[in-house]
Amino acid sequence: MQISLKLRGPLKKYGPGAETFEYTVNANSCTVRQLIEIMNIPPSSVSFVTVGDKKAGLDTLLEGNEEVTVYPRVAGG
């Protein structure tokens, strides 16, 4: 299945170089947690993930064609 993935800020380095890209997962479905694992993103670096424009849980199921954005941890402010 294909997912439109967006890795924000410093997380960009876990992708192919661009911030937004199409990503193919070799499965018919996977959870957000599994996706982060496949991408090799340390969970501690993630503040949260959105699917569409909604905040998703780690167990949210992805079935292809979603727009997924991964936001980095932030401190300060």
Q: Which residues bind other proteins (CB under 8 A)?
A: 8-12, 42, 44-45, 47-48, 50, 53-55, 71-77
Residues 49 and 71: beta-carbon distance below 8 Å:
yes
Q: How far is the CB of 10 from other proteins (least distance, A)?
A: 4
Q: How far is the CB of 32 from other proteins (least distance, A)?
A: 13
| Nearest to 21, CA basis, from 69, 71, 72, 73 | 69
Q: How far is the CB of 27 from other proteins (least distance, A)?
A: 25
Helices vs. strands in the chain: H and E counts, helices first: 1, 7
Instruction: List 24's β-bridge partners, or say none.
Output: 2
User: 1 vs 58, which CB is nearer to other proteins?
Assistant: 58
